[in-house]
Chains A and B, each alone.
Chain A
Amino acid sequence: MARDRLHRRDLLKTLAALGGLGSLGGLAIWDRDRLSKAPRFRAVLDEANSLTYRTQRRLIGADRLAREYTEADISPVFRANGSTDPQDDAYLDLVDDHFASWRLKVDGLVERNLSLSLAELRALPARTQITRHDCVEGWSCIGKWTGVPLSVILSRAGVKPEARFVVFHCADTLDDGSGGFGGADPESIRYYETIDLIDAAHPQTILAYDMNGKPLTVPHGAPLRLRLERQLGYKMAKYVMRIELVSSFAKLHGGRGGYWEDRGYDWYAGI
């Protein structure tokens, strides 16, 4: 029958289609390492992160709080990751004098530059929260954090209207030696992070000086670290020295808005 011929001929169509699909998929998998490193392909993949960012910002209220737990939930062992013992001379000097000479600098697109000692920070309104810390690697720990809401600091400094991001400059140098992707400057391997003003204004975004009721230890970022409870751990800069308000982070270090971001991680780490 004509129909039999027609559909048997479909075998050719099938072979062609499957061959096409198979070689496309096979090529993608075979060549996955080259694709993974190609800047243009990475930029395409990165679109998913900005889609996630826009979708979550649209669907999740700016003031939705991360769950807060009870004292009983606090992890007996809270893993410290990234820098845990910075060897930078300036930082070691600060450790030696118990951070007495440490000052938090606030500058950039602000009305008033600030310089705050630990005692002055502790005198400001504080917030305590028991929250879950989710590492990008996959593990979670629960800890109790006390600190100054970032919004308190920012309202004291007065954010200029053109500011769009908050930069956290840190004391630690974390040299993985790789230099990272996309033109990360090998000279600048000082940790830094950036967040948007929505997260900066979030009530649980605090600059923590206490962990589990005691002053922050060196492995956890003494004397001051960021808590950003709706994103992953690598956003929560430790050893914070200076807060800068900027309109763009394109000219900072590798230009991608953070130490790990310059090494290929997503800028938005809400997922």
Chain B
Amino acid sequence: MAAVLTPNSLVPERWHRRHAGLVRITHWINAFCFTLLLMSGLQIFNAHPALYVGQTSDFSRPILSLHAFPSWITLPSYQDLATGRRWHFFFAWLLVLNGLVYLGWGFARRHFGRHLLPRRVELRQIWREVLDHLRLRFPRGDAAKRYNVLQQLTYLLVVFGLFPLMILTGLTMSPAVDSAVPQLVTIFGGRQTARLIHFAGASGFVLFVLVHLVLVLVSGVWNNLRSMVTGWYDLYNGRTTHGS
């Protein structure tokens, strides 16, 4: 929505439509799917809580052997691999379809090129941005209209790195998919390595979500939540603008 031109228009613009409707809807579907996929994934992992490298499981030499994850974080809470798999594959399908809608829209609207691809000047500010983040200083006004370079790079990494990695390593564990695309097993260095990467990728996702949530909290939680629900973002996060 363009700013209305009135005699008042010298007053800096405060309200910015930050997130398109499709981004907001797919974001929340994603958040829901992620939670259930993580919890059911831990249920599946608990059926054999050890990880290996290569095609097969050398039971005497796991790369990592863990205690089972506690019931408060698994889906279902009691041990039941069959049901964990049902939840997992149902929400994996939903996540993939949701992701395809998001990608299709994003490419059609040039969302990625315009909003997520850092410009050269933005890349040069990366260290200042890191320092600002550490001091919990976040941009205001016009500078807050665009994602900052750390957001851009992180979102690009998640959308085009972590998500495809999780889906591909997940598919590599499917013996039927392996017959159709044997290259997948080769690329990931074996089915058990794919399982290991799937687990590591899930851990990476958890890390991303934790950092994401902390930053949502410290950079104006209501403003952030409002913009992800209604689209509208207060460029001054409740403070007065320079001009008024």
Contacts and interface: CB of A to CB of B under 8 A. Distances in A.
Nearest to B4: A3
10 contacts: A36-B87, A60-B177, A77-B58, A139-B50, A139-B192, A231-B175, A232-B175, A265-B85, A270-B176, A270-B177
B129 interface: no
Given A49-B89, A67-B178, A271-B173, A10 B226 contact: yes
A220 interface: no
A229 B182 CA distance: 13
A14 B229 contact: yes
A198 to B, nearest CB: 11
A59 interface: yes
A48 B86 contact: yes
Contacts of A56: 174, 176-177, 180
A59 B225 CA distance: 41
A64 B180 contact: yes
Interface stretch (A39-47, A98-106, A148-156): A39-47
B57 A29 contact: no
A138 B56 CA distance: 10
B48 interface: yes
Determine which residue in A4, A79, A139 has the highest number of CB atoms from chain B within 10 A of its CB, and name it: A139
A47 B90 contact: yes
Contacts of A160: none
A25 interface: yes
Contacts of A21: 28, 32
A91 interface: no
Interface string B215-230: 0000000100110011
Interface of A: 3-4, 7, 10-11, 13-14, 17-18, 21, 25, 28-29, 32-33, 36, 42, 44-49, 51-52, 56, 59-61, 64-67, 69, 73, 75, 77, 79, 132, 134-142, 229-232, 260, 263-266, 270-271
B93 A65 contact: no
Interface in B58-80: 58-60, 75-78, 80
Interface stretch (B39-47, B140-148, B203-211): B39-47
B75 A65 contact: no
Contact of A10 (B47, B90, B232): B232
B202 interface: no
Given A229-B175, A270-B175, A132 B78 contact: no
Interface in B190-208: 191-192, 195
A229 B175 CA distance: 7
A140 B58 CA distance: 9
B48 A137 contact: yes
A3 B47 contact: no
A193 to B, nearest CB: 15
B182 to A, nearest CB: 5
Nearest to A65: B179
B149 interface: no
Nearest to B57: A139
Contacts of A271: 89, 171, 173-177
A134 B86 contact: no
Contacts of B154: none
A267 B158 CA distance: 33
B150 to A, nearest CB: 25
B76 A230 contact: no
B136 interface: no
Contacts of A25: 32, 35
B89 A48 contact: yes
B90 A45 contact: yes
B82 A134 contact: no
B55 A142 contact: yes
B14 A4 contact: yes
A64 B179 contact: yes
Nearest to B13: A3
A142 B14 CA distance: 63
Given A36-B76, A49-B86, A230 B45 contact: no
Nearest to B52: A139
Nearest to B32: A25
A36 B83 CA distance: 7
Determine which residue in A10, A18, A21, A266 has the highest number of CB atoms from chain B within 10 A of its CB, and name it: A10
B86 A46 contact: yes
Nearest to A4: B14
B89 A230 contact: no
Closest 8 CB pairs of A and B: A270-B176, A264-B82, A139-B57, A271-B174, A48-B90, A138-B48, A36-B76, A60-B180
